[in-house]
Amino acid sequence: MAYRYNGENLCEKKMVVDPEKASWFGLIKLLFSSDVKSRDFIECPGEDRLRDFNHRWLIFISVLAQKIFLNLRIPLDRIGNAIETWFNLLHVNGGIFNLFLRFIKGEVIMPERSSGSFRSTAANCDWRIEMDKNIKGGDTKYNSGLAFMASKLSYENEECIKSVVTDHWKMECLDCYNFQNEYLKKKSTQAFILQDTKTDPNLIVVAFRGTNPFDADDICTDVDISWYQFNGVGKLHRGFTNALGLQKHGWPNQVDSETTHLYAYYEIRRMLKQILQKNQNAKFIVTGHSLGGALAILFVGVLIIHKEDLLLDKIEGVYTFGQPRVGDREFGSFMEKKMKEYDIRYLRYVYCNDIVPRLPYDDSTLLYKHFGPCLYYNSLYQDFSRRTKQELL
């Protein structure tokens, strides 16, 4: 069934795989039959029902990976919680030696997951929370530096985000969100909004949280190869659009007023309009790491689809870090043309051999393509963007 938008057929076609419907026997049969549409876990256009082995192999790998991670959902979650608890236990007790002494004395401090001092797995890999003092307001790198720190902070809990933004950055945290994913039927999309009251009070930052390495749903979203084809826009990644707030009937301008859920695109758009009503000089940057980077650029894409000129004119830039591919070449051309019209700066940062920017797999069959400038850094954080072919990323 096609999706509808303003009475027009917006989603013309789709290719969707459902790992929960796929049996192991059916998955194996996929490799030996060119008729992919005959498999009950694949929905695709009739004219695309016959696929060569390379395409079937990519579908096989995607579904297999998703099935494995979905079956490991509970163990992954427990492992993630254990790792986070251990590192935070060390931190609040002053290291492993002091933890040992406190254990002997019976004075061990247990970390609280909802507290402002609790850190995520991502933060335990890099404890930096202060802004780079070498980058000042007005510098060309200031916005990208602020975006980087905001995308990093987005992995933390609400109290931690508010504490860092207020106490360390001397800015204002406007709100933190936990948004509904209509496809997953749960709140799985996180973001926060801050106002740079310290350096530029007119600057607003929207930061989307990225992939949790111990969240099976996040990982499955990254490795999914499903797409929706939107009329006049191109093919968009199914998992990322669902996480952003795609409705069952497409991208209506407004969601059902009777719904009790908040969806990322609609609520953040509402919040930004509210900010503009109070401050007509406000401007925005949108950012995110990994999955969050995909949501950041797609958020702008849906604003363009809805012709939200007021907000689009106020976007200062989009900065993504380790962002996966989000659409095909047609969508890339659509976005490059529109962002040039609205004078929106878009920079996509890629670090060394990070696998996420290389997902979903790019070949002549799947047609997923990156677009816009790529800033590539090697393992020594040297900028190789001018010496690296963008097509490789």
Q: What is the pLDDT of residues 240-296, one digit of tens each?
A: 999 999 987 678 888 876 677 899 999 999 999 999 999 999 999 999 999 999 999
For residue 324, give both structure tokens.
Answer: 């996966």
% of the chain beyond a pLDDT of 90: 58
Which of 297 and 140 is assigned the larger pLDDT? 297
Supply φ then ψ for residue 318, to 5 degrees: -120, 120
In the predicted structure, residue 387 carries a pLDDT above the cut 60: no
Residues, the chain: 393
DSSP assignment letter at 387: G
Percentage helix, strand, coil for the chain under 3-state DSSP, each rounded to 5: 40, 20, 40
| Residues whose CB is less than 8 angstroms from the CB of residue 54 and which lie 6 or more positions away in sequence, other chains included | 363, 365
Amino acid at 298: L
DSSP assignment letter at 226: -
Give the per-residue pLDDT at 393: 47
Give the per-residue pLDDT at 368: 87
Range from 40-54, 244-258, 336-350, 365-379 that averages highest in pLDDT? 336-350
**Which pTM value belongs to this model?**
0.90
Give CA–CA dist 224/236, Å, rounded: 12
Give the per-residue pLDDT at 174: 95
In the predicted structure, residue 132 carries a pLDDT above the cut 50: yes
In the predicted structure, residue 87 carries a pLDDT above the cut 80: yes
Q: pLDDT by residue (tens digit) across 177-229? A: 999 998 888 898 999 999 999 888 999 999 999 999 899 999 998 889 898 98
Give the per-residue pLDDT at 381: 61
**344 neighbors 312 (Cβ within 8 angstroms):** yes
For residue 160, give both structure tokens.
Answer: 């931690």
Give the per-residue pLDDT at 288: 96
Give the per-residue pLDDT at 321: 95
Q: pLDDT by residue (tens digit) across 1-27? A: 343 444 343 566 888 999 999 999 999
In the predicted structure, residue 43 carries a pLDDT above the cut 60: yes
Give CA–CA dist 78/83, Å, rounded: 9
In the predicted structure, residue 66 carries a pLDDT above the cut 90: yes
For residue 392, give both structure tokens.
Answer: 């490789």
Among 72-76, 98-102, 362-366, which stretch is predicted with the lowest mean pLDDT? 362-366
* Three-class SS state of 316: strand
Give the per-residue pLDDT at 364: 61
| Chain-centre distance for alpha carbon 155 | 11
Confidence of residue 128 (pLDDT cuts 50, 70, 90): confident
Give the per-residue pLDDT at 145: 92
* DSSP assignment of 99-115: HHHHHHHT-PPPP-TTS
Strand-pair category, 42-43 with 8-17: antiparallel
Supply φ then ψ for residue 322, to 5 degrees: 60, 40
Rg, the chain, Cα only: 22
% of the chain beyond a pLDDT of 70: 91
| Residues whose CB is less than 8 angstroms from the CB of residue 270 and which lie 6 or more positions away in sequence, other chains included | none
Give CA–CA dist 77/82, Å, rounded: 9
For 19, 181, 254, the CA distances from 261, given in Å and listed in that order, are: 26, 9, 13
Give CA–CA dist 13/45, Å, rounded: 6
In the predicted structure, residue 392 carries a pLDDT above the cut 70: no
Give CA–CA dist 82/242, Å, rounded: 29
Going along the chain, which residue ranges are E strands? 3-5, 8-17, 42-43, 172-181, 186-195, 203-208, 227-230, 234-237, 283-289, 315-321, 327-328, 345-351, 368-369, 374-377
Strand-pair category, 172-181 with 42-43: unpaired
